[in-house]
Amino acid sequence: MPECATAPETALPCIEAGVPALVLAPMEGVTDGPMRALMSEIGGFSFCVTEFVRVAQTIPGPRVFRDHIPEITDGFRTRAGLPVQVQLLGGDPDRLAQAARVAVQAGAQALDLNFGCPARTVNRHDGGALLLQHPDRIRAIVSAVRAALPGEVPVSAKLRLGWDNASAIHVNAERAAEGGAAWLTIHARTKCQGYRPPAYWKPIGEVRQRLGIPIVANGEIWTVADIRRCRDETGCQHFMLGRGALASPTLARAAARELGIRGAAPTRTFGRTPAEWLPLLRRFIDISAAVVDSPAYTAARIKQWLRMANHDGGMAWADSLMRRQSLQGLLDHLGALAATDGGDVEQQPRQDAPTPVACPAIL
């Protein structure tokens, strides 16, 4: 098991037994470079995980990693210094091992393997949650990647409870551990349960008790009270936050205090008003502008984010922003909402001139 330094300047993207940690979840198309940068500025996380890099027929070269992971130029850290772990997805042990080597040669300090993605196209091409039906293949993949890398580079695995049967987690987790995973992250749902609540945390605790490696609990944590309940139910000290961290941008800071993570700064509850969100979105736009040359793409990302934040209908004002096409139109409207405290800004629905959403160019 590799040693994890805990001083911020030398911290690794690593889970260590007995040291509580909070991980920002990989979310394809959501927690990309700009979002990781923003979340790490706000604080609370111990490290973050990239969206998956897919390893199919060809081995991704250094350029693929550079395009996918802007933090590569800063030693796999966000500008605010948060360590970034690289996630790979695929079904072929040898190709994954080769891809992992490329990532490590480019400077990656830790690798994660995706055994949870439920997307049909991914599963049809022998990747993600499909592997949950083949425990021996999980072991072979983890073991091949482990063997390909220097001992100090940890390899972890991210699993769902199973494909359609939650009890599969026991054999799958065991095989991943046998393959040499340094820790496991378990999303508390099967593939067939998708992202629908509830999450089933109990099996995570059972796996934690049976296996001798750290377990990161994940799924349906939206508040500090959820973290407490999840900790009570699983006995875990390590948690991964996905949608909840985006819906409540100071959740990670509050959770870090709750978990007693070293250096956790005090925080206040983030409000759900336009006035609270306006400066945050402005900052996101500034960060995005440095790496993504498409304001339309950034506008689409903001809408996606606000839909996630409004998952419980508690930010009804966000609905009116969905009609704004341009980034400037969206900002102007949010500014007007902030000035009127979320009240009606105008009665006539207004459509900005539609701007085609181009594929973002990562500079």
Ligand X SMILES: Cc1cc2nc3c(=O)[nH]c(=O)nc-3n(C[C@H](O)[C@H](O)[C@H](O)COP(=O)(O)O)c2cc1C
Active site residues: 117
Please state the closest distance from residue 143 (CB atom) to ligand X, in A: 20
Residue given tokens 């991980």 in the structure block: 23
Q: Does 71 bind ligand X (CB under 6 A)?
A: no
How far apart are CB 197 and ligand X at their closest, in Å? Answer: 9
**Least distance from C-beta 62 to ligand X, angstroms?**
20
Pick from 8, 66, 167, 195: which binds ligand X (CB under 6 A)? 195
Count of residues engaged in binding ligand X, rule: CB under 6 A? 23
128, 96 contact by CB (below 8 A):
no
Scan residues 116-145 and list those touching ligand X (CB under 6 A): 116-117
User: Of the two residues 159 and 318, which places its CB atom closer to ligand X in the complex?
Assistant: 159
- Which of 12, 14, 22, 25 touches ligand X (CB under 6 A)? 25
Question: Which of 154, 244 has the CB closer to ligand X?
Answer: 244
> Residues 227, 230, 241, 264: which binds ligand X (CB under 6 A)?
241
Q: Which token pair is 319? A: 């609905």
Is the Cβ of residue 318 or residue 338 nearer to ligand X in the bound state? 318
Cβ-closest residue to ligand X? 242
Residues 6+ apart with CB under 8 A from 240: 22, 23, 24, 25, 49, 185, 216, 217, 218
157 pairs with which residues across the strands?
Answer: 113, 184
**In whole angstroms, how close is the CB of 46 to ligand X at the nearest point?**
15
Contacts of ligand X in 142-161 (CB under 6 A):
158
User: Alpha-carbon distance 176 to 139, whole Å?
Assistant: 5
Cβ of residue 17: shortest distance to ligand X, in angstroms?
22
In the complex with ligand X, which residue's Cβ is closer, 117 or 177? 117
60 in contact with ligand X (CB under 6 A)? no
DSSP per-residue string spanning 43-98? ---SEEEPPPEE-SSS---HHHHHHH-GGGGGTSB-TT--BEEEEEE-S-HHHHHH
Nearer to ligand X, 215 or 331 (CB): 215
Nearer of residues 219 and 329 to ligand X, judged by Cβ:
219
Apex 144 CA angle, 143 and 150, nearest 5: 90
Which of 6, 17, 19, 28 contacts ligand X by CB under 6 A? 28
The answer to whether residue 51 forms part of the interface with ligand X (CB under 6 A) is yes
Nearer to ligand X by Cβ, of 243 and 272: the residue is 243
* Backbone conformation region of residue 263, classed left if phi is above 0, alpha if psi is from -120 to 50, else beta: left
Q: Is 238 in the site for ligand X (CB under 6 A)?
A: no
Closest CB 129 distance from ligand X, rounded Å = 10
The b/e string for 194-227 (b: 16+ C-beta within 10 A; e otherwise) is eeeeebbbebbbebbeebebbbbbbbbbbebebb
Q: Is the peptide bond before 8 cis (omega within 30 degrees of 0)?
A: no
Per the CB < 8 A criterion, the answer to whether 157 and 138 are in contact is yes
Q: Is 202 helix (H, G, I), strand (E, B) or coil?
A: helix
Site for ligand X in 85-104 (CB under 6 A): 87
What distances in angstroms separate CA 82 from CA 116, 191, 211, 235, 332, one per listed residue? 24, 30, 28, 26, 32
Site for ligand X in 199-218 (CB under 6 A): 218
CA–CA separation, 15 vs 69, rounded Å? 21
Residue among 271, 266, 329 nearest 295 (CA): 329
Applying CB under 6 A, which part among 40-48, 240-248, 294-302, 323-331 lies near ligand X?
A: 240-248
Interface residues toward ligand X, by CB under 6 A? 25-30, 51-52, 87, 114, 116-117, 158, 187, 195, 218-221, 241-244
